[in-house]
């Protein structure tokens, strides 16, 4: 899956729009995905800090991890 496909997929699953951010850390608190020099990073961002960051070589792997994290956190659902 590609980042461009995530909004539709996550909306269909009932994941709140404010539970994630798909381009870095321009948010106060959310699950995030970002592409940087090291690869594709998936992390939780809160109070200016990244936690549980995992870096992947592929966009597909990073999207799958973001989906897994969001779907496993019951507070992310409408």
Q: What is the mean pLDDT of residues 50-67?
A: 97
Q: What is the mean pLDDT of residues 45-60?
A: 96
**Domain residues for 64?**
3-76
CA distance 52 to 62: 13
Predicted structure pTM score? 0.94
pLDDT recorded at residue 42: 97
pLDDT recorded at residue 64: 98
pLDDT recorded at residue 23: 87
CA distance 48 to 74: 23
| Beta-carbon contacts of residue 59 (< 8 Å; ≥ 6 apart) | 1, 2, 3, 35, 40
More confident residue, 24 or 68: 68
Confidence band for 11, pLDDT divided at 50, 70 and 90: very high
> How many domains are contained in the chain?
1
């Amino acid at each position: 899956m590609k980042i461009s496909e995530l909004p539709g997929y996550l909306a269909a699953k009932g994941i709140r729009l404010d539970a994630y951010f798909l381009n870095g850390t321009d948010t106060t608190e959310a699950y995030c995905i970002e592409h940087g020099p090291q690869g594709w990073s998936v992390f939780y961002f809160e109070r200016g800090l990244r936690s549980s960051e995992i870096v992947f070589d592929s966009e597909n792997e990073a999207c799958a991890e973001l989906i897994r994290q969001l779907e496993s956190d019951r507070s992310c659902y409408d």
